[in-house]
A = this chain, B = another copy of it.
Amino acid sequence: MLTKKELKAYCANASENYLPHISIDCVVFGFHEGLMKVLLSEMKNEGEWYLPGGFVLKSEPIEMAANRILKERTGLDEIFLQQFYVFGAPERSKEHFEMYKDMLPPKENWFSNRFLTIGYYALVDFCETNPTPDQFSATCNWCDLNDLPALKLDHALILTTALDTLRLQLNYQPLGYNLMPKEFTMPELQKLYETILDKKLDRRNFQRRMLAFGILKRSEQLRKGGAHKAPYLYSFDLENYEAALKEGFKGGW
């Protein structure tokens, strides 16, 4: 929690520079050791978890605002980012205001306003990410998607909606370029799909279908060092991948 002085400075600055009533919240997905991860901030008040978010500068495109916010939280540029929904219930941000309402009168208090929040989801390479807390947070950390803390405000809804959108997306678009490292094996990619869909897929059928999409290039190298037969390394054929992103696939999983 901020001190009164900090809060006052923050609110003055916010009112000066940001569009009122509008916020951005980001659901940042990563994938590591077979688990889906989401980036969460824990407030300085212990036990309060939020999605990373922020506000839109008065003459900044919203897409750029989302990128800026994510750059601050992850250190990454050129993130795969997708707007997916606006959450606009009138009381959705009230709980947040309650926290600060005794410290500043509503008129000066940025958080006394109603906020519509624009939801973006991001797909990032877990290993490249450098999670960094903001001014309000004690920590910014990866959490397992299937072992999440309770989230404040409507952030659980935002997260669920993002996940639903991601799963739907899987049915007509390629996915993985932004979540996987440069090179990966077919079983690793399969694990990603299985994790997102939360179900087992057949190894052989997965491979056949994935290759049929024509978005993978097989390296002649193998991943050595594993305890068993060395699998081939693959990478995405970026040209075909981009084309497939635009065109879309046919069937679903």
Contact = CB atoms under 8 A, between A and B. Distances in A.
Contact of A251 (B85, B86, B116, B251): B251
A59 B114 contact: yes
Contacts of A21: 19-22
- Listed from nearest, the 6 A-B pairs whose CB atoms lie closest are A62-B88, A59-B90, A19-B21, A61-B89, A86-B118, A86-B86
Contacts of A58: 114
Interface in A208-245: none
Given A62-B88, A250-B251, 9 more contacts: A19-B116, A20-B20, A21-B21, A60-B90, A62-B86, A168-B172, A168-B248, A172-B172, A251-B252
Interface string A13-50: 00000011110000000000000000000000000000
A54 to B, nearest CB: 14
Contacts of A180: none
Range for the number of chain A residues in contact with chain B? 20 to 34
Nearest to A88: B62
Interface of A: 19-22, 56, 58-63, 83, 85-86, 88-90, 114, 116, 118, 168, 171-172, 248, 250-252
A252 B172 contact: yes
A62 B172 contact: no
9 contacts: A19-B116, A56-B116, A61-B88, A61-B90, A62-B86, A168-B172, A171-B172, A250-B251, A250-B252
Contacts of A250: 251-252
A52 to B, nearest CB: 19
A58 B252 CA distance: 42
